[in-house]
Amino acid sequence: MDLFPEIYTKSVPNSSTQLVGVRRDRYRILIYPPDTGTLYVRWGGAVTTTTGIPILAGSPPLNLCRDDIGDKIEADWFGILSVAGPANV
């Protein structure tokens, strides 16, 4: 099993955007912060700036794995940027 079988760069605007789709064999997801503003992420459906996990510009990447959040790691993940975008994450 590859530790990092897929690596993506995703352009995220200031509207809810799917970052990755459902994947049953996903063990880890690593999401880097934007250059400016705050990125909000959430699993399983559309995200808003009041419902997501915040990742502030300049902060370390959000590093989640199956051991931390269980089966939620397999879900589709969405992101939204707090400022006019897009930003690559």
pLDDT tens series, the chain, 89 aa? 455 556 667 778 788 889 888 989 888 888 889 988 899 999 988 898 888 999 999 999 999 999 999 999 999 999 998 887 666 66
Domain span including residue 28? 11-83
Query: Could you tell me if 12 and 79 are in contact, meaning their C-beta atoms sit under 8 angstroms apart?
Result: yes
Number of structural domains (the chain) is 1
Global confidence as pTM: 0.84
What is the rounded distance in angstroms from the CA atom of residue 18 to the CA atom of residue 22?
10
Residue 86's pLDDT is what? 63
88 is a domain residue? no
pLDDT computed for residue 1 by the predictor: 45
Rounded to whole angstroms, how far apart are CA atoms 20 and 43? Answer: 9
What are residue 56's DSSP bridge partners? 38
Confirm whether 53 is domain-assigned: yes
CA distances, 16 to each of 49, 63, 74, 88 (Å): 9, 20, 19, 14
Would 38 be classed as within a structural domain? yes
Say if 73 falls within a structural domain: yes
DSSP sequence for 71-88:
GGGGS-EEEEESSSS-EE
